[in-house]
Each structure stands twice: as C-alpha cells, then as structure tokens.
Amino acid sequence: MTLELSHFKRAIDGLRTAPRPQELAPPRKLLAVDLALSWQPRVLVIGAGLPPEDLALLLEHGCEVESVLSLPRGMQLMYERSFDLVAVSPFIDEEGDGVFFIRSLKLASDDQPEASTRFVIHRYRTTPCVILPFVGTTEYALYVDSSRWYLADAAELPIWKTIVSLGDPDDRPAG
C-alpha cells in the first residue's frame, strides 16, 4: 500500500479552519523531565532536522535517528516502520505545514477511506511528537496526544533530553 500525502490532506481538510500555527498556544509549559537514559527511542525527523548538538547527544545515548526532508517520505516511513517519537520542522514546504501535520495527525478520525491513512493515524495518535523551533527561536512543542501538549524552551530543556526522558512506551500507562 502506498501512503499518499493527498489522502492524508483530504482526511484532515476540515481542520483548515483551525487557528493558524502562530495562534496556537499550549495549555501549560513543560517544566521538568526526569532523565531515563536506559531507554533508546527510535526517532523520525521530518524536515530541516534536529539541531546538530541534539542529534549528536541522541546518537551518543544510543538512539536511532532517521531523517527525511519531505512530508510524503516521512509519512511513507511512518506507514512502513514504527517510531517512538516523530520530530517535525514547523516549515517544510510552506509556512506552518509541519505544525498542521502534527496537529492534524492527533485530531483526525479513524474513519478515513484510505486504509494506509487510517493505519498511520491509528499508529501515531498517541506517539509523542515534537515540533522543532521556528528559525530564530528556541521554543518547541511536545504533543503527547490531542489534549496533552506542552511548550518548552531548548535553552532551558534541550530537545534531546526531552526525547530520551519520555520513557519506554511499553512502560507508559494505557489510555
């Protein structure tokens, strides 16, 4: 099965009336995270990539990191493989499309006509996602699911530390 970006865009088209990315504000701020370095997550990065120091520290701690430049390729990998976290640049092809993609992934319903789209939505609805900082800023967003998302500042809490601190998904409480 091939996952088409157009399928996903149709599935979430109704969300285009939602606030623009710059209008979104998370309900609370991520303040502190306990570091659990025994877990080594599989991370997919879509877009411009992680800051070099974050990438180096993730690799140093044994994390698997795969990077792709486009949303279609990222979505195809999300269909083919399982990742513990997806990190997305806020700007991939147009302003805010990375933000829109993650927000839509968390809010889309499972009743999509294309099986591949349903599969990706179901698989990644509860997978943590990071929206990387806009150029010239250090704030990033961590989306756990549609109702739990946080804003953090990479100057205070580095992105790599947030990723490795999420803990093994098998150890997380259900629901």
Q: What is the DSSP string of 1-58?
A: ----HHHHHHHTGGGGGSPPGGG---SEE-------TT---EEEEESS---HHHHHHH
158 within domain boundaries? yes
| pLDDT tens sequence across 44-85 | 999 988 999 999 999 998 999 999 999 999 999 999 999 999
| Mean pLDDT, the chain, integer | 78
4 within domain boundaries? no
23 within domain boundaries? no
- Number of structural domains found in the chain: 1
54 within domain boundaries? yes
19 within domain boundaries? no
We report the CATH number of the domain holding residue 64 as 3.40.50
Q: What are phi and psi of 152, to 5 degrees?
A: -135, 160
20 within domain boundaries? no
Residues contacting residue 10 through CB under 8 Å, at least 6 positions apart: none
| pLDDT tens sequence across 87-140 | 999 988 877 788 889 988 888 877 777 888 888 988 898 899 999 998 899 999
* pLDDT at 20 > cutoff 80: no
* pLDDT at 169 > cutoff 70: no
37 within domain boundaries? no
10 within domain boundaries? no
Q: pTM, whole model, 2 decimals?
A: 0.76
Half-sphere exposure of 100 (CA within 13 A, CB side): 21
**125: domain range?**
42-165
